[in-house]
């Protein structure tokens, strides 16, 4: 296959973070979820340079990479890349196998949000890397092509992943997402969503909690699978409530979903405290968002009660994040 040449010497791209509205953990079992992109973004700059022996150089301060460098030939022909460079390296290898190139790449990242917040920094990294490469070399991959390649890149690194985070990073907006074959990505027309995002103060390991729930799922086959099925029913009930902006109904479903997440062991004292303080302050509903074990809680609350609840949670020592939802997906900057 002939090598492709860069059509730009430098591009800058970005992708949003994400929040699960409903369906976390259930999505792993060929399930469904509601997910939204948030307006904190990860930025990536990609540069191409002529070279006799092409290398990949990565600078990503958020994950401790400072001029990390490796031969592109070794990256393409090896499945052993690990550590903080692994997601970008996996993307470069997959892209190179479809579109061979013979230049060096220099990649730098910066982010509006810390990797510790659990907003999907890994998926945003994959989205920006593949979209950036597509833009740099002018190959014009569609969002769906980027998504399919991105799922493969993530699974090469983590050996699991529903693809929901990646769908939010690439397509943006608020999505109904189905993790079956073929995967469905359905954008929803949600003009507004009065959501508050609160950091619990603890960082969670997504892979660890997914594996923990998998073990529980397999060891209690008559108990946990029905809980997962109930979560999927909640997603199906939640979609029309979301589309009709029926906030009391959606809040009620969020409360039930949080209870089920507590039942499968991924709630924490801090997340529970945020949720119960929110409900006591008159929120429509509240729940943890994501794998659990820490990261963020989301609260559905009317604008009239937003300021008071912000003060209450701030006084309790929690960080209310200034995030908006329905953000634009991956894009050129």
The answer to whether residues 164 and 258 belong to one domain is no
Residue 319 Ramachandran class (φ > 0 left, ψ -120 to 50 alpha, else beta): beta
Residue 160: pLDDT over 80: no
Question: Which residues are CB-contacts of 99 (< 8 A; sequence separation ≥ 6)?
Answer: 4, 133, 137, 139
Residue 204: pLDDT over 80: no
pLDDT score for 286: 98
Domain span including residue 251: 195-321
What does the alpha-carbon distance between residue 261 and residue 21 come to, in Å, rounded to a whole number? Answer: 13
Percent over 70 (pLDDT), the chain: 97
What does the alpha-carbon distance between residue 37 and residue 71 come to, in Å, rounded to a whole number? Answer: 34
The answer to whether residues 143 and 276 belong to one domain is no
Cα 275 from chain centroid (whole Å): 22
The answer to whether residues 230 and 280 belong to one domain is yes
Q: Kindly indicate the confidence band of residue 171, based on its pLDDT and cuts at 50, 70 and 90.
A: very high
Q: What is the pLDDT of residues 47-91, one digit of tens each?
A: 999 999 999 999 998 888 899 999 999 999 886 667 889 999 999
Q: Is residue 216 part of a domain?
A: yes
Helices then strands, each counted (H, E), the chain: 10, 12
The arithmetic mean of pLDDT across residues 132-153, rounded, is 96
The answer to whether residues 71 and 110 belong to one domain is yes
Question: Which residues are CB-contacts of 301 (< 8 A; sequence separation ≥ 6)?
Answer: 194, 195, 196, 278, 281, 282, 283, 284, 309
Q: Is residue 3 part of a domain?
A: no
The answer to whether residues 214 and 160 belong to one domain is no
Looking at per-residue pLDDT, the higher value among 82 and 182 belongs to 182
Residue 127: pLDDT over 70: yes
Q: To 10 degrees, what angle do helices 269-280 and 303-315 make?
A: 140
Whether the link from the prior residue into 182 is cis, omega within 30° of 0, is yes
- What's the pTM value of the predicted model, to 2 decimals? 0.94
Reported as type and span, the H/E element at residue 169 is helix 164-171
- Domain of residue 238, CATH code: 3.30.70.890
Q: In what order do the strands lie in the sheet with 285-289?
A: 285-289, 296-300, 195-199, 319-321
Q: Is residue 181 part of a domain?
A: yes
The answer to whether residues 44 and 185 belong to one domain is yes
Q: What is the pLDDT of residues 8-56, one digit of tens each?
A: 999 999 999 999 999 999 999 999 999 999 999 999 999 999 999 999 9
Q: Kindly indicate the confidence band of residue 115, based on its pLDDT and cuts at 50, 70 and 90.
A: low
Residue 117: pLDDT over 70: no
């Amino acid at each position: 296959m002939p090598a492709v040449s860069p059509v730009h010497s430098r591009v800058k791209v970005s992708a949003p973070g994400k929040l699960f509205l409903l369906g976390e953990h259930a999505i792993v079992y060929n399930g469904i979820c509601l997910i939204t992109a948030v307006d904190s973004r990860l930025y990536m700059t990609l540069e191409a340079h002529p070279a006799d022996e092409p290398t990949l150089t990565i600078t990503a301060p958020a994950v401790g990479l400072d001029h990390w460098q490796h031969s592109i030939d070794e990256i393409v022909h090896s499945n052993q890349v690990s550590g903080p460079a692994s997601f970008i390296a996996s993307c470069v290898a997959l892209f190179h196998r479809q579109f061979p190139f013979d230049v060096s790449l220099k990649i730098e990242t910066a982010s509006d949000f810390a990797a510790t917040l659990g907003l999907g920094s890994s998926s945003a990294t994959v989205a920006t890397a593949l979209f950036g490469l597509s833009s740099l070399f002018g190959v014009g991959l569609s969002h769906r092509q980027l998504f399919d390649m991105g799922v493969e890149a993530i699974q090469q690194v983590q050996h699991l992943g529903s693809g929901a985070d990646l769908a939010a990073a690439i397509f943006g907006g608020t999505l109904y997402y189905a993790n079956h074959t073929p995967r469905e990505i359905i954008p929803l027309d949600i003009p507004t969503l009065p959501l508050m995002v609160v950091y619990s103060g603890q960082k969670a390991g997504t892979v660890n909690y997914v594996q923990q729930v998998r073990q529980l799922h397999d060891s209690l086959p008559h108990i946990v699978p029905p809980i997962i099925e109930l979560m999927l029913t909640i997603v199906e009930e939640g979609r029309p409530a979301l589309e009709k902006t029926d906030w009391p109904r959606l809040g009620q479903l969020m409360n039930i979903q949080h209870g089920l997440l507590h039942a499968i062991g991924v709630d924490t004292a801090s997340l529970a405290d945020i949720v119960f303080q929110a409900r006591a302050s008159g929120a429509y509903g509240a729940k943890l968002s994501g794998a659990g074990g820490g990261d963020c809680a989301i609260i559905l609350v009317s604008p009239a009660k937003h300021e008071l609840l912000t003060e209450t949670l701030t006084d309790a020592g929690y960080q209310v994040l200034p995030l908006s939802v329905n953000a634009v997906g991956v894009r050129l900057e």
